[in-house]
Amino acid sequence: MVEVRFHGRGGQGAVTSAEIIAQAAIKQGMSAQAFPSFGPERRGAPVQAFLRVSDKPIKLRSKVYKPDSVLILDPTLVVSANPTDGLKEGGYIVINSNKSAEELKTLFPGRNIVFVDATKIAKEELGVPITNTTMLGALVKATGVVELNTLEEPIRARFGSAGGQKNINAYTRAYNEATVIKAQ
């Protein structure tokens, strides 16, 4: 089973991201769960979403406390939300960042990191700085949790024809532009 915890802010689409990956996994014949964790938060407040994908039925119904990977939509959460808490040894930090590889290695010593400037890509491809679907490309590159092409159908269903294609372009570009740093 693969478990991923998404960290974002209200309105950034962390919950939508987890749902899209779960739908893609189900399309591939796997079992999947996607669910949020938030209370009465407002736009901009920190939120978490969770994803589980397995080739067997999933019986767990709790939050993900020991994720295989964490996806960080908003890099300011690194300081305020401790998003790497509980991350399994050898797991991936998938982060939206315009920092250099050296800066990220210093920030997350001894960790596997996949990073991409998703904000830049989202602005250029979608016209807005909402990075949720863009970051799906980086997550797939890091984890292979689903095949990249299986994201297309749930994306089109969620965003329609025109919006769907823009989101497909964004996550494909992020997949191609993401940089992988392996722990040493």
CA distance 89 to 66: 10
pTM, full prediction:
0.95
Residue-wise pLDDT tens digits, 55-110: 999 999 899 999 999 999 999 999 888 899 999 999 999 999 999 999 999 999 99
CB 175 within 8 A of CB 140: yes
CA distance 1 to 35: 16
- Structural domains of the chain, ranges and CATH numbers in brackets: 2-181 (3.40.920.10)
**Bridge-based pairing state of the strands 179-181 and 112-116:** antiparallel
